Structure 1
Amino acid sequence: MSAEARAINFGAGPSALPESVLEETAKGLLNFAGTGIGIAEISHRSKEFTAFVRNLESLIREQLDVPPTHHILFTQGGGSGQFSAVVLNMLARHRLLRPELAEEDRVMDYVVTGSWSKKAAEEARRLGGGRVNVVADGRKHSPDGKSFNNIPPAEAFTFSEDPALIYYCENETVDGVEFAHAPGPTAFPFERLPKTGLIPLVADYSSSFMSRPIPRLADHAIIYAGAQKNIGPAGLTILIVRQDCVVDVDAAAKLGAVPTPITMSYKTLVDSGSLYNTPSVLAIYMTGLVIERMKSLGGVPYFEQVNKNKAEKVYAVLKEGEAKGKLRGKVQEGSGSWMNIVFDVLGEGEEAKFLSGAEARALKGLKGHRSVGGIRVSLYNAVSEQQTDKLVDYIREFIGQ
């Protein structure tokens, strides 16, 4: 298929990848790094692939300014796998630090701002090993009391004094809610975190990883991201893990912690250089190509500006549609995501008409998540400003009818 025949992919994930990366991947499928063996065939323990992994780690460290106190790890299982791994590793850490605590006194703090953080909290309850404290719940601050359409105000956050972990999702892909990047009422309230020791702060950055800098990265215990939004295909999960969270999970289990599967142990990943078992070789390769391209274009600061421009254009046309009574945004002012912009098309049959018109113009992946419906525009790194302009032009045409 020619580049001209390709659709513009606004899907929420797996999502758009740069065409140059797809073309380079096609070459690598036949011959990786001059080995004469394709990337999908080569041993993950070959010196060429091992060198590629180490370079990828270095590129991420450089572009996000990851301090030496944190490891960069590669694994599988997506964000959902980390719902479990985070709980098991952080409960093991807490057990080693506080072996005298009874189970009911071991607390895990969860900020619930959308579908994914809600699922993460549910998994923590399912695994046990401590009780879940909901620090803040966005539904309590929505007009209907059940929608995730906002970042709760800072004063609503009630952190525990000594939690095993404090969990938040930076960007909610389904609900279109994101913590603000700059300080303000919808930024993450770092100032309210407990002041005792190293903060066990965990962030799900799956749908915004490397779209802009990470505020106070060094203050996080764990940051993780599924690659299939901004930086690669499905199959790879990237972790940034502070050294004190790499613990002997077997020693913790002997003290009563919930046992951790060996491939979910952060210590296993660190000790093996992320190569304990066969990783997602092709996904790692494509992610490396994406991040090399990012660096050549100006790195995270460049994409931050482009992503800001794209989001502002879509929100501006959404406001035009609201003023004309044709569209309705789903998220409260100031809480909207740069990555996933969600809205409803008003009127009987109008949503189907909107999607049909978009499809005819090769603007694809715009249907909202099945759990909430409506329209969702995903503006990940590989979606260019020019492609965004084409969508904005179509929306303006639609609301002008």
Structure 2
Amino acid sequence: MAEGRVHNFGAGPSALPIDVLEEATKGLLNFQETGIGIAEISHRSKEFTAFLSETEDQIRTLLRVPPTHKILFTQGGGSGQFSSVVLNLLARHHLLHPDLKNEDRVMDYVVTGSWSKKAMEEAKRLGGGRVNIAADARRYSQDGKSFDTVPPHDDYIFSADPALIYYCENETVDGVQFAGEAGLPTSFPFAKLPENTILPLVADYSSSFMSRPIPRLADHAVIFAGAQKNLGPAGLTILIVRQDCLVDVDAAAKLGAIPVPLMLSYKTLADSNSLYNTPPVLPVYIAGLVLRKMSAEGGLQTYAQSNRRKFEKIITALKEGEAKGAYKGKVKEGSVSWMNIVFDVPGEGRLQQFLDGAAQRGMKGLAGHRSVGGVRVSLYNAITEEETDQLVQYMNEFATKTS
């Protein structure tokens, strides 16, 4: 490990591979032998536009994105997309159903954690349609308020022809994630979706993007992700948008849709190849370097297998610690996130002791989100199995001292 660096288990901005950071420092001074640093070079230079195209190709190859979908790069993070998806998908719905009244336009939201709840609240705030909560995970928690599981398939009630169907694949705060394998009780219920329409399915993949394959990617209208978890630094948002969602928002506005700012229009981004304005050049560069590394190391399956192993190691230590009374998991089995494992450390002052002990051993970023407390172990791609093993060893030692 580079001198002075610690093991960063933080939830984001997250750890990045050391070799990528070292390569990026060279580009900061001289990008591709131009004599100009990547943070200084024109975003319309042939060197950067070629790099942007390569980055797009890497995502398309690694995730097997079909030609029916465009890959776009923008700013604003996942929170920016809470608004963008509503505005763009409502515009699409107006073009498809110009005579429908706004109160009859429905937006379906699956609420499984803090981020999907925020997205749903933004849809309500913007208006332009009625929000239907297609499933609410809080119904299955002991207090009726917490998020600790993915709802069972029988609980989902989708609208017949909604403007959008929204879910968050991995809830970073609450540590809840849909199962990646089809057919499991906690997988996303694709079989329950309406069949009489081209699905307006929207998925927030911010904290699990590029950690494992995306189930039924081609069935999604929009997939978005902030890069600052598995792929790069904060400031870059990646969109995978089906081409029928690249609509003329001005034409939709004339039919009564909410006017869409040009910078939020998916069609504007697509028509300009993500260069309508200056994109986040440096984050794109670092993300591109990470994607090169992923491709060279065997692609997405290699990372998925490593992430499963890391997850299983932490879960084993957590369960052993629970048996000793040292820890208490927050998420029900089958819904636990691979990326963000959350748990409590019962006992007066024990949580701080755990965090302080970890910091003394060079492991930081383990405090849970301020809204829920406890511990949060984020196992993004750049966290190595060796680093995971060190945390497991510490968890076992701490649990033994507690018992």
User: Normalised by the shorter chain, which TM-score bucket?
Assistant: over 0.9
The secondary structure found in structure 2 opposite 1:232 is: coil
Structure 2 distance, partners of 1:347, 1:197, is: 53
Structure 2 distance, partners of 1:250, 1:390, is: 55
Corresponding position of 2:186: 186
Structure 2 distance, partners of 1:318, 1:158, is: 35
Structure 1 distance, partners of 2:196, 2:36, is: 52
Corresponding position of 2:296: 296
Which aligned runs of 4 or more in structure 1 are off by greater than 6 angstroms? none
Corresponding position of 1:8: 7
Corresponding position of 2:234: 234
Structure 2 distance, partners of 1:5, 1:309, is: 27
Structure 2 distance, partners of 1:208, 1:248, is: 31
Q: Which amino acid aligns with 2:192?
A: R
* Equivalences for residues 170-319 of structure 1 within 5 A: 170-183=169-182, 184-319=184-319
Q: Which amino acid aligns with 1:91?
A: L
Corresponding position of 1:389: 389
Corresponding position of 1:97: 96
Corresponding position of 1:133: 132
Structure 2 distance, partners of 1:365, 1:399, is: 20
Q: Which amino acid aligns with 1:284?
A: V
* Equivalences for residues 109-188 of structure 1 within 5 A: 109-183=108-182, 184-188=184-188
Corresponding position of 1:53: 52
The secondary structure found in structure 1 opposite 2:286 is: helix
**1:76 maps to 2:79:** no
Deviations 1:147-178 (A, max 9, x none): 10000000000000000000000000000000
The secondary structure found in structure 1 opposite 2:239 is: strand
Give 1:391 shift.
0.3
Structure 2 distance, partners of 1:299, 1:364, is: 28
**1:348 maps to 2:337:** no
Q: Which amino acid aligns with 1:99?
A: P
The secondary structure found in structure 1 opposite 2:256 is: coil
Deviations 1:195-253 (A, max 9, x none): 01210000000000000000000000000000000000000000000000000000000
Answer yes or no: is the 8 Å Cα contact 2:150–2:177 preserved in 1: yes
* Equivalences for residues 32-51 of structure 1 within 5 A: 32-51=31-50
Give 1:296 shift.
0.6
Percent identity, aligned pairs only, is 70
Structure 1 distance, partners of 2:96, 2:290, is: 39
Deviations 1:52-76 (A, max 9, x none): 0000000000000000000000000
Deviations 1:297-343 (A, max 9, x none): 11100000000000000000000011011100000010000000000
Give 1:5 shift.
2.7
Structure 2 distance, partners of 1:297, 1:387, is: 18
Give 1:143 shift.
1.4
How many equivalent pairs are there? 400
Structure 1 distance, partners of 2:135, 2:206, is: 20
Answer yes or no: is the 8 Å Cα contact 2:161–2:197 preserved in 1: no
Structure 2, gaps ≥5 residues long? none
Answer yes or no: is the 8 Å Cα contact 2:135–2:155 preserved in 1: yes
Deviations 1:107-133 (A, max 9, x none): 000000000000000000010000100
**1:376 maps to 2:383:** no
Structure 2 distance, partners of 1:131, 1:162, is: 12
Q: Which amino acid aligns with 2:11?
A: A
Corresponding position of 1:360: 360
Structure 2 distance, partners of 1:4, 1:259, is: 51
The secondary structure found in structure 2 opposite 1:256 is: coil
The secondary structure found in structure 2 opposite 1:400 is: helix
Deviations 1:30-80 (A, max 9, x none): 000110000000000000000000000000000000000000000000000
Structure 1 distance, partners of 2:301, 2:112, is: 26
